[in-house]
Amino acid sequence: MADSLFDLTGRTALITGGGSGLGRNIAEIFAEYGANIAVCSRKIANCQETVDQLESRYGIKALAYECNVGSEEQVKAVVQSVLSDFDSIDILVNNSGATWGEETEKMPLDAWEKVMNVNVTGTFLMSKEVGRHMIRSGYGKIINIGSVAGLRAEPPEVLNAIGYSTSKAAVHHFTKDLARKWAGHGLYVNAIAPGFFETKMTKHVIAQYADTIVHKNPMKKLGDTRSLQGAALFLAGAASDYITGQVIAVDGGSSL
């Protein structure tokens, strides 16, 4: 695999929200292709479960960290710990996310602020801190996890979470702007916009509206783990070395 466009041997990936869901799936594919893994979230027990599985299955180095990505102090501390433990961060996946389902006219301000703090501010803080190291090293791949909810407006019966969709649209533009700013430093910044995948965050919506979602999807199906992993692996490795500032929808065509 040494000459593979997808080989990550010797790279270190930091994945926020890596204790479960899409973050854990991404951590697994990176480990499968040789990367060492650092995962962080507010629930360190979940992260520890992830790293135990990865070390046992793939024989790579993996460590878990506790971090609220909306706290600049915690972000700085975690990044320094990861650099101390691994010596470098070559790949950053900004996956931590929050949502709040509510009719817009009834949504509390603190709910809006919570979603923005995790999804937008957290992505900024982690990118800023890891980016400083990447700029010094002259290389880095940053992958932001957006959403098709940030590409199109869904009817309220499918998704009634205006804070979430607005935050993901912000993540998409942040991706493009940051890619433009840091291209000259050897950094690549791209985003994945998943459609409906079965995760803890989406399980309630899918439980209620799976038939409607599938019916409206051009490919007539929900997202599967390997599809997301393939997109993440592509953006993390040499296969995407002429790609930056892009938002790749992994959604079965639902954003068309």
224 pLDDT band, cuts 50/70/90, is confident
Mean pLDDT of 204-219: 74
Residue 1 has pLDDT above 60, yes or no: no
164 assigned to active site? yes
Residue extents of the structural domains in the chain: 12-198+224-250
256 pLDDT band, cuts 50/70/90, is confident
Marked catalytic residue, from 58, 65, 164, 188: 164
Cα angle at 110 between 105 and 114, to 5 degrees? Answer: 115
CATH architecture group of domain 12-198+224-250: 3-Layer(aba) Sandwich (3.40)
Mean pLDDT of 98-119: 95
Residue 206 has pLDDT above 80, yes or no: no
pLDDT, residue 151, reads 95
Q: What are 24-35's pLDDT values in tens digits?
A: 999 999 999 999
- Note the pTM of the prediction, 2 decimals: 0.94
pLDDT, residue 7, reads 97
pLDDT, residue 199, reads 67
